[in-house]
Amino acid sequence: MKLLGEVVESGALAKTKMTNECNLEKGSAKTLENLAGGPARLEAAGKHAAAVKGCEDQTKVADALDNQHETQSAQCNKIKIKVEKQAAAFALKKANADAAAIAAKAAKAE
């Protein structure tokens, strides 16, 4: 359960970073489009290439954490179902024992 919480938290952070990186990519693309040439355009092209790579990398991280979240949730659900079955079996066993004790008391009282 703790691991699932960490995955969810990391996933949210990764999505925020992805959004920031991809917004930076869009901004750098607009800057690159508006420059005619020369050293400023070369610098803008370098920054844009780095921003594209950053957006791609963060998107991969966010996707991987989404997949890990799904896997972890499925494992938690399996454990939850197992625990619920054990709790139901214990409750049934206890109810049967209580009923048997009541029946034994009733038989003694007669």
Length of the chain in terms of residues written = 110
User: Is 2-109 in CATH node 1.20.1050?
Assistant: no
Contact status, residue 21 vs residue 53, Cβ threshold 8 Å: no
> Model's pTM, two decimal places?
0.67
Summarize pLDDT for 1-49 with one digit per residue, the tens.
677 778 788 888 999 999 999 999 999 999 999 988 889 999 999 999 9
Quick: pLDDT tens for 50-86. 999 999 999 999 999 999 989 989 998 999 999 999 9
Q: How many CA atoms lie within 13 A of 26 on its CB side?
A: 6
Other CB atoms within 10 Å distance of the CB of residue 44:
18
